[in-house]
Amino acid sequence: MTEQGVRWTAEQVLALAPDAASRKAGSKLGAAGPWSGAGCSAVGAVWGLCKGSGSKPYQTVVDTAGPAYKCTCPSRKFPCKHALGLLLLWAADAAAVPAGADAPDWAEKWLESRGARAEARQRKDEAKPADEEAARRRAAARAARVTAGAEELEQRLADLVRGGMAAAEHAGYGLWEETARRMVDAQAPGLAGRVRELGAIPGSGPGWPMRLLEESALTHLLDRAWLGIDRLPEPLAATVRTRVGLPASARGPAVRDRWLVLAQYDTSDGKLTTRRIWLYGRESGRTALLLSFGAAGRAPDLALAVGVVLDAELVRYPGAGQLRAELGERFAAPVPGDAPPPGGSVGEALAAYGLALRDDPWLDSWPVTLRDVVPVPAAEGWQLADADGGAALPVTGSAVARPGLWRLAAVSGGAPVTVFGECGHRGFTPLAAWSPDAPGTVPLT
Amino acid sequence: MTWPWEDLLTSALLGTDRRPLPAPAARISGTGPRRDGGDGHPFGDGHPDGGGRADGRDGLPDGGGRADAGAVGAGAVALDAPVALLDAAAVATVRRRAGLLPAAAAPLPRPAPRDDRAPLPEAAARRLTQLLADRPSAGGGGRRGTAPDLTELLPQWLAAANAYGYRAPAAALPALLDAARARTDLRPQALAFGGPRALWLAASNPEWRFALRGASGGTALPAPDDAEGVRRLWEEGLFAERVALLGAVRAHDPAAALDLLASTWASERAEDRLMFLDSLRTGLSAADEEFLERALSDRSRNVRSTAAELLSALPGSAFAARMAARAASCVGLDHTGRQATIAVEAPHECDAEMQRDGVVPQPPSGRGKRSWWLAQLVEAAPLGLWRERLGWRTPEEIVALPVADDWRGELHAAWCRAAVRQRDAAWSRALLGPASAPPASGPGASSSAALLATLPDGERAEWVAAFIAAHGLSEAFQLLGVCTVPWSGPLGRAVIDALDIARDAGSYPWSFSGVMGLAERCLDPGEADRLGVLTAAYEEGENASPGAGGYWAEAFQRLVATLRLRAAMHTELTPPGR
């Protein structure tokens, strides 16, 4: 087995599936039956021929380093069930997908063209003429539109508080939706998103007035920050621009580290699927967030298997208290990770969130690792309690509804475990767990 | 400039026009927004008074808002009151979030009991995840393609894993419990595999309550020879625990179980008595006769008939002798003709004694009373009776005798039930007849299956193989269902040959989907290589249904793929070094 030869687990493969139907269809194809001529290379390419209903078998090839997929089937799902099935077979059966073989011509051709395309893109990026003057004009025009939007939103919030939020319960969603559209017109998607959330709060159950006031006040804070952005220190100004929704690009220095993939999960607003991948740098001790987006029906491009360690460079996005980064060059294939990040107590987790608010007061949560905590079913929901039984964090309501929480309870068995998750004012959302009884990272998403 | 959160919230709710903010508090109020319950996120109550370990204000952009707020607070200009309120609320919100304290922990759960079984090999654990992830498709039906049906393999996988004594991976337990919840047939194996931690987990999720009800018991049963523990649980336990306990004790020491049951019999409820009585099927022997005889006069009719059924499985019992006398008076030999014939004279009444022995007087609709009574008498009479009664003939000879007046069907059906109940292989063999005989003349598919179950494994497989060779697969489904898995070589070959013949005949494979599914689960995985030739595309004959050849190739591919998968499953489960 080469250093490349680490095969993924079935869960890692299934995490790539764009939907439940693909997951199921892919699982069915993850057996030797329909496959022939399968193999994998030392640089992470996997290929095979899958017998379908037609006379000619489908040619499926996957570059696991991307991951990227190519299949001759007509499916519009991406990756298609054949790619998933092939990867499952590769994951489960070293004999059915032997390593070290030469790729057949059709696979080789695609793999080569992929390499060539990547190079071409890089050259193009470097060669892009920098018309700085025009760019500055465009930015100024956009800033003016955002400013108009922020002022309008300020007016809207002041009207809300002047007239009384109690009326908001009856005003319905339409009023907010109109304001959100105005923010989209103002090219401030961050503000638009906040406005939509404000519109949803009155219907969100008991305690809504308090949540509405909190979120209105923080939106107000963001408006004021934008309107006074000239007077803010640059890191905070960058954070404000990001929160308002202006595009930013990763520009920080590249940091090479061995990055442990802590969690990967998707959220969707119906139009866009957002994938979040949390990484922990083994040497730097830093936590980073990769974001990847997919249009409806397509899984976001980037997929990393939970529990592996990547030797790679990350480039940070600007802004104080911002963890987002972009994945740069990868130096080796992923290898299985072992130990969890060092963690702390429940109190330390809340303190970390509190400290992070100094840099970004709009943060809803902060990534933390809890060491030696026990999941506890309590009257109001679940808690993660320090093993000595003193302090505890409530688990967020949305996490309680997910199957991951039961996996966490099962892995713990009432004994202390290490848990990674997002800790914030709504509570703690567990995303990954490690038990002293069993090796490896247990994904909870 | 700060106000208590309650003031801010009240003003915001009613509107600053109606409810202006009061004069600001003199000192910074430590209370952020209070969580008064009901919002589902109970954090600790204490908030640091100003500052604290992480004062959120340090991080606020100190450009616009704050200065305005000061001005507004001092001037109390109505126009800017909302802005002042929002400023103050923003500060309070960030401060509250920055100063959150942990909640008090609820009592920690009792840890799950230790499970010292060996962990699964890695490949087997991956396979389990895959099997559990595959859910039966909604709507069922449809074309199945060439890929194996993973859900159908889960029972085998669990049985094999349990046979090796592996411990279930903790992270797989929720999926395992979900699968067992959806499919009752999986429950015993799934719960055995899940072990104590699965039960521990199920206790906190109402959706998994079934696991605690199961016969394997929610709480640990005392050892069957722990007399005191057994006695205590028997007297204090819940119904399900008591059923499980009785079953465990009965399997260990039948007499002790009987004593236990007898000790409280009179005070049990009728439904409970019925369930407890049923537990005596295990290890039934002559020692139980006296107890069962008493149960024949039970208040509950269901208890009486179960007692009678159990007694009829004890050919040496006084009950059996009474039934034998009754049955013998109804069935005899008539030598008057050229050939000896069985003459039947069904009973004319169902007297109180018969009813006490479990004979149900009222026939189901559509059946005559007398034939109904006769059937019950013959079914409950020991089969040994007939040898003497019918001229020292063997079962085969008796079955071959003609029966007068159309009683043959009724009489043979009753003998079939008796042979099954008394697990009499000789009579079963006779009643089944030769496998090559046309199925129409036999006892019917479901009776045949029940009779086959009384034969030794090898003989059973041989009979079914011969049946399939003679009659094909169309009536073989139930018979195949009682054969031991994996199928013996001759049986497997008979099934494959019959499928091959069906393909040659040009019918569609889904006419055989039931048998095909069984074959996928039950054929010996070693047959996969022999089957390879059948998976090739096949020249369709003249009579073939359109496209059938391709579908058959697909069906055989799936069969081979499933067999290979089963072989792989078992290899993965084999402990290293074996």
pLDDT value of position A29: 81
What pLDDT does residue B78 have? 44
Q: Which residues contact A309 (CB under 8 A, 6 or more apart)?
A: A258, A259, A260, A261, A282, A334, A335, A336, A337
Which residue does chain A place closest to B94, by CA atoms?
A361
Structure tokens at B493: 């070959």
Residue-wise pLDDT tens digits, A355-371: 999 999 999 999 999 99
Mean pLDDT, range B275-295, rounded to an integer: 88
CA distances in angstroms from B485 to B330, B439, B523, B525, listed in the order given = 42, 24, 7, 11
pLDDT at B218: 45
**pLDDT, averaged across chain B:** 80
Q: What's the pLDDT at B217?
A: 45
Query: What is the count of residue pairs from A and B with beta carbons less than 8 Å apart?
Result: 301
For A200-205, what is the mean pLDDT?
85
What is the model's pLDDT at position B216? 47
The whole-number pLDDT of residue A263 equals 94
Greatest pairwise CA separation for chain B in angstroms? 128
CA distance A315 to chain B (A): 25
Q: Which residues of chain B have a CB within 8 Å of the CB of A205?
A: 39
**pLDDT of res. B77:** 43
Residues of A in contact with B53 (CB under 8 A): 351, 354
pLDDT class of B219 with cuts at 50, 70, 90 = low
Question: Model confidence over B398-409: pLDDT tens digits?
Answer: 888 888 888 888
Query: What average pLDDT is seen over chain A?
Result: 86
Average pLDDT of span B188-201? 89
pLDDT: which is higher, B150 or A171: B150
Work out the angle between the directed axes of helices B122-133 and B173-182 (0-180°, nearest 10). 40
CA distance B203 to chain A (A): 11
8 Å CB contact between A24 and A11: no
More confident position, B190 or A1: B190
Residue A172 has pLDDT above 70, yes or no: no
Distance, CA of A391 to CA of B479 (rounded, Å): 62
The region that residue A414 occupies, defined by phi over 0 for left and psi between -120 and 50 for alpha, beta otherwise, is: left
Q: Is the ipTM of this complex over 0.95?
A: no
pLDDT, mean of residues B65-86: 55
Q: Which chain A residue's Cα is nearest to B84?
A: A158
CB contact (8 A) between residue A413 and residue B65: no
Cα angle: A371, vertex A372, A375; to 5 degrees:
110
Residue B37: the pLDDT is 39
Taking CA atoms, A382 is separated from A211, A402, A431, B375, in Å, by 21, 12, 15, 61
Tell me: the pLDDT tens digits for B220-258? 677 777 888 888 888 887 777 788 888 888 888 888 889
Coil/strand/helix, residue B315: coil
Closest of B1, B41, B38 to residue B21, by C-alpha: B1
CA B495, chain centre distance (Å): 28
Whether the pLDDT of residue B71 is over 80: the answer is no
Task: Give the CA distances from residue A319 to residues A8, A220, A326, A353, B377, in Å, rounded to whole numbers and listed in that order.
Answer: 35, 20, 14, 17, 91
What is the structure's pLDDT at B32? Answer: 43
Residues of A in contact with B173 (CB under 8 A): 406-407, 410
Which tokens in the block code for residue B411? Answer: 């009489």
Is there a contact between A33 and B197 if contact means CB atoms under 8 Å apart? no
| pTM greater than the 0.90 cutoff | no
Closest CA to A305 of A107, A37, A30, A44: A44
CB A196 within 8 A of CB A184: no
B525 contacts on A by Cβ (under 8 Å): none
Q: Is the pLDDT of residue B36 over 60?
A: no
Interface-testing mutation among B6, B146, B535, B562, with chain A (most A C-beta atoms within 10 A): B146
Q: How many CB atoms lie within 10 A of CB A173?
A: 13
CA distances in angstroms from B393 to B336, B398, B418, B463, listed in the order given: 18, 6, 18, 24
pLDDT tens string A18-56 = 777 777 788 778 777 778 888 888 777 889 888 876 678
- The answer to which of A15-29, A62-76, A81-95, B326-340 has the lowest mean pLDDT is A15-29
Chain B contact set for A240 (CB, 8 A): 61
Beta bridge partners of A308: A336
Return the pLDDT at B140. Answer: 41
Nearest CB neighbour to B103, from listed A51, A383, A410 = A383
Q: With an 8 Å Cβ cutoff, are B561 and A224 in contact? A: no
**Residue A291 pLDDT:** 92
Cβ separation of A213 and B174 shorter than 8 Å? no
| Paired tokens of B6 | 């309650």
At residue B542, the pLDDT reads 61
What's the whole-number mean pLDDT along residues B12-33?
68
- Cis before B82? omega within 30: no
| Residue A190 pLDDT level (bands cut at 50, 70, 90) | very high
Find the mean pLDDT for residues B195-200.
Answer: 89
Q: Treating both helix axes as pointing N-terminal to C-terminal, what angle do A20-29 and A81-92 enclose, rounded to 10 degrees?
A: 50
Spell out the residues 6+ positions from residue B35 whose beta carbon is closer than 8 angstroms to its own. A207, B41, B42, B43, B45
Contacts of B8 in chain A (CB under 8 A): 213
Contact of B571 with B549, CB cutoff 8 Å: no
Identify which of B507, B518, B510 has the alpha carbon closest to the alpha carbon of residue B477: B518
Q: What is the pLDDT of residue B69?
A: 38
Shortest distance between the Cα of A175 and any Cα of chain B, in A, equals 18
Read off the pLDDT of each residue in A413-433 and give the average, rounded to a whole number: 94
More confident residue, A444 or A64: A444
CA nearest B116 in A: which residue? A437
| Predicted local distance difference test score (pLDDT) of residue A2 | 36
- Residue A424 forms beta bridges with which residues? A365, A427
Instruction: Give, as one character, the DSSP assignment of residue B505.
Output: T
pLDDT bucket at A153, cuts 50 / 70 / 90:
very high
Under the banding of pLDDT at 50, 70 and 90, the label for residue A218 is: very high
Which residues on A lie below 8 Å from B61 (Cβ)? 221, 224-225, 228, 232, 236, 240
What is the pLDDT, as a whole number, of residue A171? 67
- Give the three-class secondary structure for B183: coil
| pLDDT (tens digit per residue) in A67-87 | 788 888 888 777 888 888 888
